[in-house]
Structure 1
């Protein structure tokens, strides 16, 4: 039987950006640009139904889905250089934190917050 492992030399993978469903794209863009400092680099539709935001190496895609309901799973994992500073910043802006900051046994200082749609974003900093 042939191997099912994709040969690593065959194709170089580029960036991978999560698409997050939101019920109100203007509210999502306001949160991610206003509180987290992302910049909108693309939008599509009239009214807008899809947008791309970037900040440094991080990129998020937003897709409008009226009636979107968040899940209990994390939709994105954000690696940062100073988790404590981001944690304090989010607390100062009254962003809902659902898992408090901690040093985990898997080598990350981490926490989880939710955006206005209830989407869970897991934040980590390598210890």
Structure 2
């Protein structure tokens, strides 16, 4: 294996791509017939697939993003003012500083960095 790229369901592709753009990702729509998109920030890549019947209350999608500085990412995402639920960063018993963001499509993004020391 070389790498893995999660494919996340979204109800509306254009809104999802705009949300990821505001969170600092480079975004691109697939130019074929499907409503599909690509988001990337550094080595992190996610794909989003439009699924109009997607119900965020019954579908469980999650992704964990390891970052250099969870507090800096949290501050940037807070400033982006995107819809959804953004939790505060906290130190964990497993040695990470992390926070959670649940987007309007119901995807849980857990974001963490190693604690120093």
Classify the TM-score, shorter chain: 0.7 to 0.9
Instruction: Report what 1:57 is aligned to.
Output: 43
1:105/1:74 CA distance change after superposition, 3 Å: farther
Q: Provide structure 1 residue ranges, at least 5 long, that are not aligned to the other structure.
A: 1-12
Instruction: Specify which of 67, 88, 92 is matched with residue 53 of structure 2.
Output: 67
Q: Provide structure 2 residue ranges, at least 5 long, that are not aligned to the other structure.
A: none
1:72/1:120 CA distance change after superposition, 3 Å: farther
1:113 aligns with 2:101: yes
Over the residues paired in the alignment, what is the CA RMSD in angstroms? 2.0
Q: Distance in 2 between matches of 1:104 and 1:45?
A: 43
Deviating 4+ runs (over 4 angstroms): 71-74
After superposition, what is the alpha-carbon deviation per residue over 1:5-36, rounded to whole angstroms, capped at 9, x for unaligned? xxxxxxxx211111000000000000101x22
Q: Distance in 2 between matches of 1:87 and 1:97?
A: 12
Q: Distance in 1 between matches of 2:61 and 2:10?
A: 14
- SS of the aligned residue for 2:81 comes to coil
Greater radius of gyration (CA):
1
Q: Distance in 2 between matches of 1:93 and 1:39?
A: 14
Instruction: Report what 1:9 is aligned to.
Output: none
1:82 aligns with 2:69: yes
What TM-score comes out, normalization by structure 1 length?
0.77
- SS of the aligned residue for 2:30 comes to strand
1:123/1:74 CA distance change after superposition, 3 Å: farther
Instruction: Report what 2:110 is aligned to.
Output: 122
In the alignment of these two chains, the number of paired residues is 113
After superposition, what is the alpha-carbon deviation per residue over 1:44-70, rounded to whole angstroms, capped at 9, x for unaligned? 434x51112211110001111002122
